[in-house]
Amino acid sequence: MSTIFRGSGVALVTPMKENEEINYDVMDALIEDQIAKGTDALIVCGTSGEAPTLDDPEHLEAIRFAVERTKGRVPVIAGTGSNNTAHAVMMSEESEKLGADALLLVTPYYNKATQDGLYAHYRKIAGATKLPCIVYNVPSRTGTNILPQTMVRLAKDVENIVAIKEASGNLSQVAKLASLADGCLDIYSGNDDQIVPICSLGGVGVISVLANVAPKETHDMVMYCLNGEYDKARALQLRSIPLVEQLFCEVNPIPVKAGLNMQGFAVGLPRLPLTEMTAEHQKNLREAMEAFGVL
């Protein structure tokens, strides 16, 4: 098994113009800023990238653009998951053709598969591509939790299912997963307030919302962990908590888009049904960003 990346992968937002078209000039600026500040991978068209409101042509164009602009400097991981297995297969095949380095595949939402259904779903998608696949477990959004036993079964049975983005929030479940996996898959934190705890259990990095507005600090936090400097990592994790709280005081990516706009990146507003961050929450976010030193 080869590791896709170690460190901080940013769950990149999708910048929008006032007419709601994707703003590729700003996406280019974001990519350059992220790479310059040490981000180790770009995750394009995931939750933070508003994948649910992107149609297929613009979804694939955003992936193509990110691959082209990144020029192999860091891996580009394409969000191609769906609750429609056939659609996820199609998007994964197309993303491979466009040059993506790996895939992020969210657990099926709304229709809610059984554990056997999850196994069959992921096996079908992975079988359609040679790209390494990251399973994305986020029960708070999908209503579905992939159990450690199912995840390990997939990793052992399917060669290119190599990692999981664990956003269950349940550290006991992550510990169980790490124990059962015994090195057969990589674990990425999917929660910015659990980077250090998950790395301490053997995680190799984070797929991060925080990294959009604090790329260097998020990268450094993981690297301190991977280098065994847990005092430094813990201090940075604890200092980040007030900012992380504000980044999730409304549903992601509403706050992080507001934060990037504050930093001068004209990422615009999210598409409906997400709305602009309230004025009170914007004030609190600004104060947290200033306190953390990223504004």
Which pLDDT tens digit goes with each residue over 142-187? Answer: 999 999 999 999 999 999 999 999 999 999 999 999 999 999 999 9
Residue 110 annotated as catalytic: no
CA 187 centroid distance within chain: 12
Sign of the Cα torsion 2, 152, 85, 21 reads negative
pLDDT in tens, 194-238: 999 999 999 999 999 999 999 999 999 999 999 999 999 999 999
Q: What is the pLDDT at residue 163? A: 98
Residue closest to 211 by CA, chosen among 116, 74, 85: 74
Backbone angles phi, psi at 212, to 5 degrees: -60, -40
Q: Which two tokens stand for residue 146?
A: 């992939």
Active-site entry in 71, 124, 156, 165: 165
Residue 158 CB-half CA count within 13 A: 27
Taking residues 13-35, what's their average pLDDT? 98
Instruction: Decide: residue 18, CB within 10 A, 0-12 exposed, 13-18 middle, 19+ buried.
Output: exposed
CA distance 53 to 166: 23
A 10 A CB-CB count for 86 gives 11
Band of residue 1 on the pLDDT scale cut at 50, 70, 90: confident
**Core vs surface per residue 168-194: b (16+ CB within 10 A) or e:** beeeebbbbbbebbeeebbbbbbbbbb
Q: What is the pLDDT at residue 220? A: 98
Residue closest to 56 by CA, chosen among 67, 45, 42: 45
Give yes or no for residue 248 having a pLDDT over 90: yes
Give yes or no for residue 123 having a pLDDT over 80: yes
Q: What is the pLDDT at residue 2? A: 86
DSSP three-state, residue 244: helix
CA distance 104 to 163: 9
Question: 215 near 8, Cβ under 8 Å?
Answer: yes
Residue 290 carries which side chain, given as an amino acid letter? E
Taking residues 118-145, what's their average pLDDT? 97
Q: What is the pLDDT at residue 100? A: 98
- Which residues, including other chains, have CB under 8 Å from residue 279's CB and lie 6 or more apart? none
CA distance 210 to 238: 13
pLDDT, averaged across the chain: 97
**Core vs surface per residue 211-236: b (16+ CB within 10 A) or e:** bbbbbbbbbbbbbbbeeeeeeebbeb
pLDDT in tens, 27-60: 999 999 999 999 999 999 999 999 999 999 999 9
pLDDT in tens, 264-276: 999 999 999 999 9
Task: Look at domain 7-216 and name its CATH class.
Answer: alpha beta
What are the start-end ranges of the H helices in 40-114?
56-70, 85-97
Active-site entry in 119, 136, 188, 224: 136
Enumerate the domain spans of the chain.
7-216
Band of residue 3 on the pLDDT scale cut at 50, 70, 90: very high
A 10 A CB-CB count for 71 gives 10
Residue 156 annotated as catalytic: no
Q: Are strands 186-189 and 76-79 parallel, antiparallel or unpaired?
A: unpaired
